[in-house]
Amino acid sequence: MNAAPVGAVVLNSVSKALKECLDEPIDFFKNDGAKSEFDYIRTLEQTYWRTLQDVIDLHVGCFSPGPIAGKVLEIGSYLGVTSIAMREAGFEVVAQNVPEYIEHPRIQERYARHGIAWKAVNLRSYRLPYESGSFDGVVMCEVFEHLNFNPVPILVEVNRVLKTGGWLYLATPNAGNIVKRLRIIRGLTAMDPVDNFFGALTASDGGIVGMYWREYMPYELQELLRRTGFSQLRHYYCHYADRHHRSLLHRKLVKLMYYFVPAFFPAQVVMSPKEKPAAVNIRFTDATKPLE
């Protein structure tokens, strides 16, 4: 990895990734997606800075005093911002996503420019197409909540492809955030609206994986990871969207609320080193068997 201070590496790497992805939209489904991609990146911009800083800190913590640069798999790479930023920071990166996204020629060209390998994988196959112990780290940002099937076999596979001492970086919404609590009090659902079921059936609108099928409380993530061979190095609550458009008074009141009740934050991050191989007995039935 570059010998420059970590802060400078994060600044330069994320800035370059953001500029490229904003200047050269993919428009996966040819439906004026350029604007939605721009809005998506701008909304989540602060999460890219946080993620790269966290990944570097986590990697150094797990492998120090070894080399900082390592081989990382990003599951759910989407537009490539995080994969490119990690690559620019010095990591060897494999980007993975569902075929509908990652097989687009322009996203493949983007990865090729940076020397990023890519794989088309539907996680419903319950299999990651890599040798055991292939990666130093796995990154899953805003992916876990989109899984509309049992996530345990995926965590078992993540454990398998990680080296001993490797790490998992998982960022996902917080099921106990203040908005969801208030919706339940008002008698409304805390889940995605039923209307989204219909949109998810139409690949042309980009909604094929857009729904939040299951969100998690922190203790649930802790149990899932513990039972699949991971220890918890750190958990924290956070934002995942830009809030600068809000008024100053609104931001101060929200900040005060989160200070006293961190569990109201909208999102959470878990950093989990691989402690041991997963020891989960998985026997699929006809109803749960992997996608061919």
What are the Cα distances from residue 198, in Å, to 104, 146, 193, 194? 24, 16, 10, 8
- CB of 152 within 8 A of CB of 280? yes
What are the Cα distances from residue 53, in Å, to 9, 41, 61, 170, 178? 9, 18, 12, 14, 27
pLDDT score recorded for residue 34: 81
Phi, psi (rounded to 5 degrees) for 125 = -75, -15
pLDDT score recorded for residue 69: 76
Residues 172, 235: Cα–Cα separation, whole Å? 11
pLDDT score recorded for residue 117: 98
Length in residues, the chain: 292
Average per-residue pLDDT in the chain? 90
Q: List CB contacts of 7: < 8 A, sequence separation 6 or more.
A: none
User: Hey, is 115 helix, strand or coil?
Assistant: coil
pLDDT score recorded for residue 140: 98
HSE (side-chain half, CA atoms, 13 Å) at 126: 15
Phi, psi (rounded to 5 degrees) for 206 = 80, 5
Q: List CB contacts of 219: < 8 A, sequence separation 6 or more.
A: none
pLDDT score recorded for residue 1: 47
Residues 279, 271: Cα–Cα separation, whole Å? 20
- CB of 116 within 8 A of CB of 92? no
pLDDT score recorded for residue 2: 47
Residues 121, 216: Cα–Cα separation, whole Å? 23
- CB of 88 within 8 A of CB of 115? no
pLDDT score recorded for residue 67: 55
Dihedral sign, CA of 61, 62, 65, 70?
negative
Residues 91, 139: Cα–Cα separation, whole Å? 12
pLDDT score recorded for residue 242: 60
Q: Which of 238, 68, 96 is nearest to 161 (CA)?
A: 96
Question: Residues of the chain whose pLDDT is less than 70?
Answer: 1-5, 31, 33, 65-68, 203-208, 241-245
For residue 184, how many other CB atoms are within 10 A of its CB? 11
pLDDT score recorded for residue 240: 75
- CB of 52 within 8 A of CB of 12? no
Can you list the domains of the chain with their CATH numbers? Answer: 6-173+212-240+267-273 (3.40.50.150)
- CB of 107 within 8 A of CB of 119? no
pLDDT score recorded for residue 210: 75
- CB of 149 within 8 A of CB of 289? no
What are the Cα distances from residue 225, in Å, to 2, 87, 88, 219, 251? 32, 27, 29, 10, 33
pLDDT score recorded for residue 247: 81
pLDDT score recorded for residue 93: 98
Residues 180, 290: Cα–Cα separation, whole Å? 32
